[in-house]
Structure 1
Amino acid sequence: MIKVLIIDDSAVVRKLLTEELNKQKDIEVVGTAIDPYIAREKIIQLKPDVLTLDLEMPRMDGLSFLGKLMKHFPMPVVVVSSLTPKNSANALNALRLGAVDVICKPGSAYSTQNISQDIVKAIRTASIARFDQHLEAVKSARTKQKATERVEFTGLRHTTNKLIAIGASTGGTRALEAVLTELPENMPGIVITQHMPPVFTKSFAERLNTICRLKVKEAEDGDLIKTGQALIAPGNFHMLVEKSGAKYYTRIKSGPPVHHQRPSVDVMFNSVAKSAGVNAMGVILTGMGADGAQGLLHMKEAGAHTIAQDEATSVVYGMPKEAAKLGAAEEILPLQVIPEAIIKQMARKMAEPVS
């Protein structure tokens, strides 16, 4: 049984979440709190497995509480936030601080049924998330700056013939930051699918753009995939890669969810396998489920070099595990060495003739 403590200053939200979560056979709401001070006492008293946390509360805001919690008593947290552009920045900060997931708050344009399903899924995922080694890996990747200092990348030239495709889900915002901030500005074009709600993807891209040497933006239909730029699939849309002449472009489309996800990593990886083949490289990072595993296999079969994050540094070893089980990953690596592996492999590819 997964024991949940709900932290929210809205009595309506506390009641709604309690009712919905208690319908699940494997979840029990053991208590609620209207602010972080009460929550602190109830965490000690009730020993919950997972917290749901509002960000806007009296006495202490959710971000401040989350920061203190992760420093002194790390545990799985699912943020339940209003889905607005303003709150999306706070939600992304929550993910950077260690929240496992962010779900839109009841009362938004989404139906209560969909919200309940999302929260239940997030709580189940959070209950099996791991922190210690993942946090150490992120810290290592942020502070050592080892990859770009050790590996000379002078062999890279301006090109639209090579590309890198990266897929991630739970824990992926931190993992992507750890990878992208280590890559130099002359990397071949990068396409990224991260499972994330609408609105959040734009804010996520804007934040990465301020801390990376690469230019990072939310992808638009028809974007040229070019050297020095990373394109992130917009929330609620699939992103595909298509080839025109020697150049690659993004296609942003709707369509049914794949593996319950839109955007889907499999959709992107499959399109890269078809369009780029041996000229591409695929990387699958931390995440729940199997999205991306089959697509990474197709990329490998098409001649692309493929990497999966290892279990020890994954918040949730789901997507990389499924890829490993299929034999889709040529390398299974800790998060902190993946940037170096990307750089070395792409330098080799740049020395090969264009296919």
Structure 2
Amino acid sequence: MSSFHTTYDTPGQAKAAAPVRTLIVDDSRTMRGLIRSVLERDPRIVIVAEAGNASEARDAVNAHQPDVMTLDIEMPSMSGLEFLDRLMRHRPMPVVMVSTLTKAGSVTAIDALSKGAVECVQKPTIGQGGSPFAGLADILVAAASARIKVPTSASPARPASTSGRKFHRICLLGGSTGAVDAIEQILLRFPADCPPTLITQHMPEPFLASFAARLNPLVAPTVRLARDGDELRNGEVLIAPGGDFHLNLLPGLSRRVSLFAGPNVSGHRPSVDSMFHSASHLSDQIVAGILTGMGRDGAEGLANLRAKGAITLAQSRESCVVFGMPRVAGEMDGVDNWVHLDTLGDALLKAAETPVGAKPR
């Protein structure tokens, strides 16, 4: 497959009033038609082309200069993942992956997100209730204005060994669109004896299992999905398993977690707000961080934690893929410090060393 043209307008910079120019890439004509029928109902989006394979997609990108692309993971000749890798090296642009909810599909979806895809949505299945691709238009509109990082050949930081540092606080992290890479970068800075850490990330349940499995061998701490009643321990990072459950802290002083089966909170399950609010009784023992993502989930909970003595950090605008959740948190006076992603892991560790009840100088 030949290279993409390298002269192009920066995607996502169109005027706000202009519709988002969208390319649909899927080897199934039926699936392309379904995605088109959903998106054409939204006046914020215009479909500029469709493609059934990587070669057609390359030609469509060069010819139409789309603002955003939906990309099937499983395609003939060249997989969506391989195509994404080439795309991000030659013509970086916002991409939303479309995946089946198989184990293999979920693993590949997480790999795609780590390679620069903005978001991953699931294909509808037979018998699935509700509207297929609900919320896809909102995701594409947000993705079109995302800050896309050009992949580098630099090796990731080596996981730190046991640090011997004294951590006094529990670390809570919440993220959404673009946060898969952010969380990986943060945890690569965490030592094997890191503070007890809870993470709520907006993703479907199978994707979250694959996310935890991907992270665990890459970083020094132990990373796994949280289980109901887990005790918070140094050196362990627990990720919300999603599905029917929110990841919360149990009331009282037990320092254990609860998988709470309940409705969506702030539009999501698992919800960052649910996790943050559940930690309110331990606010002076908390350092909380809010990461890149669309919407406002976590903003109210972060502001509540800060008002009650927690240390709160937010990913800086320039290092966010989508400056949504952190922006709203700032507007609600929920942020102590804004930190670039490159130094956010270290900032969280330093804050976690702050004695209970104190604020860092």
Determine if contact 2:175/2:290 at 8 Å carries over to the other structure.
yes
Structure 1 partner of 2:90: 72
Structure 1 partner of 2:296: 290
Give distance in 1, aligned partners of 2:51 and 2:124.
17
Structure 2 unaligned spans of 5+: 1-18
Task: Give the AA of the match of 1:44.
Answer: N
Structure 1 partner of 2:268: 261
* Change in CA separation of 1:55 and 1:351 when aligned onto 2, cut-off 3 Å: same
SS of residue matched to 2:172: strand
Task: Give the AA of the match of 2:278.
Answer: S
SS of residue matched to 1:67: helix
Give distance in 1, aligned partners of 2:329 and 2:356.
26
Task: Give the AA of the match of 1:311.
Answer: R
Give distance in 2, aligned partners of 1:155 and 1:351.
18
Structure 2 partner of 1:19: 37
- 1:112-261 maps to which residues of 2 (within 5 A)? 113=131, 115-132=132-149, 143=156, 153-156=163-166, 162-236=169-243, 237-245=245-253, 247-261=254-268
Give distance in 1, aligned partners of 2:185 and 2:225.
18
* Structure 1 position 125, deviation (Å): 1.6
TM-score for the superposition, normalised by structure 2: 0.89
Q: Tell me whether 1:2 sits opposite 2:8 in the alignment.
A: no
Determine if contact 1:165/1:272 at 8 Å carries over to the other structure.
no
Question: Which protein has the bigger helix share?
Answer: 1
Determine if contact 2:54/2:83 at 8 Å carries over to the other structure.
yes
Q: Tell me whether 1:28 sits opposite 2:46 in the alignment.
A: yes
Give distance in 1, aligned partners of 2:106 and 2:136.
17
* Change in CA separation of 1:265 and 1:340 when aligned onto 2, cut-off 3 Å: same
* Change in CA separation of 1:102 and 1:313 when aligned onto 2, cut-off 3 Å: same
Give distance in 2, aligned partners of 1:351 and 1:14.
55
TM-score for the superposition, normalised by structure 1: 0.90
Count residues in correspondence: 339
Determine if contact 1:296/1:329 at 8 Å carries over to the other structure.
yes
Give distance in 1, aligned partners of 2:128 and 2:203.
15
Structure 2 partner of 1:341: 347
SS of residue matched to 2:121: strand
Give distance in 2, aligned partners of 1:154 and 1:243.
29
Give distance in 1, aligned partners of 2:125 and 2:40.
19
Q: Tell me whether 1:306 sits opposite 2:306 in the alignment.
A: no
Determine if contact 2:287/2:312 at 8 Å carries over to the other structure.
yes
Task: Give the AA of the match of 1:320.
Answer: P
Task: Give the AA of the match of 2:44.
Answer: D
Task: Give the AA of the match of 1:156.
Answer: K
RMSD of Structure 2 on Structure 1 (CA):
2.2
Deviations 1:318-339, CA, capped at 9 Å, x for gaps: 0011111111110001001111
SS of residue matched to 2:62: helix
Determine if contact 1:156/1:350 at 8 Å carries over to the other structure.
no
Q: Tell me whether 1:92 sits opposite 2:98 in the alignment.
A: no
Task: Give the AA of the match of 1:26.
Answer: R
* Structure 1 position 154, deviation (Å): 3.0
Determine if contact 2:163/2:192 at 8 Å carries over to the other structure.
no
Deviations 1:184-203, CA, capped at 9 Å, x for gaps: 11112101100011111111
* Structure 1 position 244, deviation (Å): 4.8
- 1:33-48 maps to which residues of 2 (within 5 A)? 33-48=51-66
Task: Give the AA of the match of 2:199.
Answer: I
Determine if contact 2:160/2:188 at 8 Å carries over to the other structure.
no
Identity value in percent: 36
Structure 1 unaligned spans of 5+: none
Give distance in 2, aligned partners of 1:165 and 1:319.
15
Task: Give the AA of the match of 2:291.
Answer: L
SS of residue matched to 1:87: helix
Determine if contact 2:316/2:340 at 8 Å carries over to the other structure.
yes
* Change in CA separation of 1:304 and 1:351 when aligned onto 2, cut-off 3 Å: closer
Give distance in 1, aligned partners of 2:335 and 2:127.
39
* Structure 1 position 348, deviation (Å): 2.5
Give distance in 1, aligned partners of 2:125 and 2:39.
17
* Structure 1 position 108, deviation (Å): 5.0
Give distance in 1, aligned partners of 2:53 and 2:340.
37
Give distance in 2, aligned partners of 1:17 and 1:259.
26
Task: Give the AA of the match of 2:138.
Answer: K
